[in-house]
Amino acid sequence: MELVSPSIGLVFWTLVTFLFLLLLLRKFAWKPILGAIHDRERSIETALASAEHAKDEMQRLTNENEQLLKEARAERDKILKEAKELKDQIVNDAKKQAQTEGAKLIETARHEIETQKAAALDEVKNQVATLSLEIAEKILRKQFEDKDKQQALVGDLLKEVKLN
């Protein structure tokens, strides 16, 4: 029964041993363990703060990216609009220039036609005059072959000269 009811000496030495062990543990084990726990706690807090900071930074970067995308889309739309306006202006300018050049070409062609027409008419007139002179010469030669006809013609011409 001694095991069931311990003696005072056993309780005393067990208590002394327990206190000694407790002091030893406190001195050598508890401080490093608690220090390690505190270090771990601080590192976890730092990691959580870093994670929160990273999360905030990520949110800020996401917002900046969205803003940059909006600005890029707006810039793209603006550039496309300006390009379309420039294209329309270039097409309109080209049409106007083509119309102007076409009108100039038509006017030049008309002038050339008129010049060619006048030259052709002059040529025809010259040919008609030449032919008329040749015909008149042939007729006059025939008429002047006969002396009586020559005198009658001179008389008629003199009468016309007096009348004018």
pLDDT tens, position by position, 98-150: 999 999 999 999 999 999 999 999 899 888 888 888 888 887 777 677 777 77
In a domain, 154, yes or no: no
Domain of 59, in residue numbers: 8-130
Q: Is residue 152 part of a domain?
A: no
In a domain, 17, yes or no: yes
Confidence of residue 164 (pLDDT cuts 50, 70, 90): very low
The pair phi, psi for residue 45, each rounded to 5°, is -60, -40
Decide if 148 is inside a domain.
no
Residue 50, domain member (yes or no): yes
Higher confidence at residue 58 or residue 3? 58
pTM value? 0.42
Please say whether the dihedral angle defined by the alpha carbons of residues 39, 45, 47 and 53, taken in this order, is positive or negative: negative
Examine residue 3 and state whether it is found in any structural domain, yes or no: no
Task: Report CA-CA distances (Å) from 52 to 3, 44, 45, 60, 81.
Answer: 59, 12, 10, 12, 43
The domain total for the chain is 1
- Assigned domain for 62 exists: yes
> Considering the domain boundaries, does residue 156 fall inside one?
no
Please give the DSSP secondary-structure letter assigned to residue 159.
Answer: H
**162 pLDDT tier (thresholds 50, 70, 90):** low
pLDDT at 38 > cutoff 80: yes
Place of tokens 């100039």: 104
Are 143 and 150 in contact, with CB atoms under 8 Å apart?
Answer: yes
pLDDT band, very low/low/confident/very high, at 160 (cuts 50, 70, 90): confident
Q: CA dist 20 to 12, 25, 67, 124, 132, Å?
A: 12, 8, 68, 148, 160
pLDDT band at 3 (very low <50, low <70, confident <90, very high): low
